[in-house]
Structure 1
Amino acid sequence: MMISDSTTPNTLNTSNACNTSELVDDKMLQTPLAVLYSIIFILGLTGNLVALWVFFFVHSKKNSLQVFLMNLSFADLLLAVCLPFRIQYHLQQDKWELGQTMCKLVGYLFYMNMYVSITLLGLISIDRYLKIYGSAGTRRKMRSPKWSIVVCAVIWVVALALMIPFVLKSNDKCVDTTKCFQYRTIPQKDMLKAHINIFVLVVFWLVFVSLVLSYGKIALKLLRRSQQRPDLPTAPHYSRVARKSFFVLFLFVVCFVPYHVFRGFYIKTQITEETLETRNLADKFNEISLVFSALNSCLDPVMFFLLSASVRKEVRRFMTSVLRTRDVGGTSAANSSTELDSRSDKRQSNALDNVSEKKYVLSSSS
Structure 2
Amino acid sequence: MMNTSSNCSLLADFQYHLFSIIYSLVFILGLIENVLALYVLTCKVKNSTQSYVYFINLAVVDTMFVCMLPFRIHYHINENNWIFGDITCRITGTLYFTNIYLSIGFFTCICVDRYIAVVHPLTYLRIRVSHYNIVLTVLLWAIAVAIVVPLVLGGRLDNFLENNKTACYESFPESSWKKRLVPYNTCALVFGFVIPFSIIMISYPLIAKRISKIQTSIHKKKALRTIFMILAISILCFLPYHLTHLLHFMMRARIFDHCAFNGFIYKLRRITLALVSFNCCLNPIMYYFTTSTYSGRLRLRLRGLRAKKVYTIYDRDMNTFLGTYRNKP
Structure with more relative contact order (C-alpha pairs < 8 Å, separation 6 or more): 1
User: Structure 2: where are the runs of 5+ without partners?
Assistant: 304-309, 322-329
1:173 and 1:252, CA in 2 relative to 1: closer, same or farther beyond 3 A? closer
Q: Which moved further from structure 2: 85-94 or 237-246? A: 237-246
Q: Percent identity?
A: 25
Is 1:83 matched with 2:69?
Answer: yes
- The corresponding residue for 2:326 is none
The 1-side partners of 2:50 and 2:317 are apart by 11
Q: Distance in 2 between matches of 1:173 and 1:213?
A: 41
- Residue 147 of structure 1: aligned partner: 132
State the match for 1:32 in structure 2: 18
Q: 1:196 aligns to what?
A: 184
Q: Deviations over 1:247-303 (max 9, x none)?
A: 211121111111112122111111006355443322221111111210001110100
Corresponding position of 1:307 = 290
Structure 1 residue 224: deviation in Å?
Answer: 1.7
How much is the aligned-residue C-alpha RMSD, in angstroms? 3.2
1:288 aligned onto 2:276: no
Q: Provide the residue aligned with 2:201 in structure 1.
A: 212
Structure 2 Cα separation of the partners of residues 354 and 225 of structure 1: 17
- Residue 169 of structure 1 is matched in structure 2 by 154
Alignment of 1:131 with 2:117, yes or no, is yes
Superimposed CA distance per residue, residues 39-87 of structure 1 (whole angstroms, 9 cap, x where no aligned partner): 0111111100001111222225332111000000111111112211111
- For normalisation by structure 2, the TM-score amounts to 0.83
Deviation of 1:359 (Å)? 3.8
Amino acid at match of 2:210: K
Determine the C-alpha separation between the residues in 1 that align with 2:37 and 2:313: 27
**Does the Cα contact within 8 Å between 1:31 and 1:91 map onto a contact in 2?**
yes
Give 1:269's match in structure 2, choosing from 222, 236, 251: 251
Equivalence for 1:187: 175
Q: How far did residue 356 of structure 1 move? A: 4.5
Q: Distance in 1 between matches of 2:29 and 2:197?
A: 26
Counterpart for residue 225 of structure 1: 214
Q: Which runs of 5+ in 1 are unaligned?
A: 1-7, 14-20, 227-231, 312-341
- 2:37 aligned partner: 51
Paired positions, count: 309
The question of whether the paired residues in 2 share the 8 Å contact of 1:64 and 1:143 is answered with no
Q: Who is 2:144 aligned against?
A: 159
Distance 2:177 2:270 in 1: 26
